[in-house]
Amino acid sequence: MLIPQLSAAESALCILLIGMAQVGGQEDGEKTTALKDLLSRIDLDELMKKDEPPFTFPKTLEEFEYAFNEHGQLRHIKTGEPFIFNAREDLHRWNQKRYEALGEIITQYVYELLETKCNLTKAILPLDATVDEPFTFVYLSPNALSNPSKLLVLIQGSGVVRAGQWARRLIINQDLDSGTQIPFITRAMEEGYSVMVLNPNENFLEVEKPSSTLPSQTEPLDEPAEKKERRDDKEGKKRREFYEKYRNPQKETETERIPIRENTSSEEHVLYVWDHFVSKAAAKNVFIVAHSYGGLSFVELMNHRETEVRNKVCAVALTDSAHNIWLQETSKSTQDWMQQHCCNWVSSPEPLDTPLDSMLPDCPRVSAGSWGYAGVSQLTSGERRGTPWTSRQPIGGHI
């Protein structure tokens, strides 16, 4: 008779059932004690982890066997199918790690497009960063500081997205035009704008912590009993952690974050870029597009540089902005300025540009013509009607 090979989790379940059968004839009190002892010796979560494939994933799209087609859609090279998240059934943690690994490749791919297709260049931040300290960067068009006419500044939301991206999910599951800022950049440059692409989510350098080592076995002489007990507890915990890592190679690597000077948050990054780039640009007219948390960061910029922003910025297009003028304690003058120069396109089932009720007295809200996502790409999709929403020429009238 052939005995099928069972996974670790299936084996554990069999052991549990056998154990329960064995204690079936015992008294209730004895049953409870026996089952507790049995369960304490079976860690199903750990055994499930041991069934996971290693967390080693391809480093390029080609190795992943995916590529972007002529429509900017991510497709499998052999089958032509869209990306499948659940590549392995019942292995959610492994599937999530695989998705994140692909996302890192997508980030580098978008950087390449910004440099090759859009002809943008990196500017390292902080400007006086030393060789040894962590740094971030923004992307600039060749005439970003010298164009005397128009400058477009792009600020994405929070999360894993980096320079040039609106939403990783849309890049992977829909297309490059929906999930990246490239349509904004190309259209803006065609119409005479210079461009700055901010990178507000790269705020730290993540490095792996040194490997734990077994504690020394030597004991101090004449150590008080209470102190010895505390030390034994601490060393016992270290020893357990050490053996856990040895026993479970799938445990995630421990890391620590080193903050990037003067760019430790989205708000700080936007302020730094304003002070060192936007405020020094020759452009008489600055236009800003800010998505989600980027809208909050813009309002924080106004709280710190209100007069400068009012004098230099013509219009701001917000999409599903996360700002709150009450919680951020904006001034009455800022609120009045936002009423005249800002517009917030929000997720709504209503047709594009349909006016919506605003809960706060900050800026007009209109429908983005989509439900569940503001669809920032629709501002450049050709569906914009160019309805004026500011006393000056709005960005909607151009791009």
**Predicted confidence band at 389 (pLDDT cuts at 50, 70, 90)?**
very low
Task: Say how far apart CA 72 and CA 176 lie, in whole Å.
Answer: 5
Confidence bin at 238 (pLDDT 50/70/90): low
292 catalytically annotated: yes
- How far is the C-alpha of 91 from the C-alpha of 385, rounded, in Å? 47
- Going by pLDDT thresholds of 50, 70 and 90, the confidence category of residue 362 is confident
Q: Taking residues 249-258, what's their average pLDDT?
A: 75
Q: How confident is the model at residue 392 (pLDDT cuts 50, 70, 90)?
A: very low
In the set 141, 292, 348, 370, the catalytic residue is 292
**Span 359-377, average pLDDT:** 73
Residue 225 has pLDDT above 70, yes or no: no
Residue 200 Rama label (left phi>0; alpha psi -120 to 50; beta):
alpha
C-alpha to C-alpha distance for 287 and 303, rounded to whole angstroms: 18
Please report the pLDDT score of residue 229 as a whole number: 64
Distance between CA atoms of 233 and 249, rounded to whole angstroms?
Answer: 24
Structure tokens at 53: 């494939």
Lowest-confidence segment of 83-87, 150-154, 282-286, 378-382 by average pLDDT: 378-382
Q: First CA to last CA across the chain, in angstroms?
A: 72
Question: Average pLDDT of the chain?
Answer: 82
Task: Specify the pLDDT at position 199.
Answer: 98
CA 269 to each of CA 26, 241, 280, 297, 345: distance values in angstroms, whole numbers, following the listed order? 67, 37, 16, 9, 24
For the beta carbon of residue 394, count every other beta carbon within 10 angstroms.
20
For the beta carbon of residue 39, count every other beta carbon within 10 angstroms. 13
Q: How is residue 93 written in tokens?
A: 């943690």
As a whole number of angstroms, the distance between CA 57 and CA 371 comes to 34
For residue 348, the number of C-alpha atoms closer than 13 Å in the C-beta half-sphere is: 19
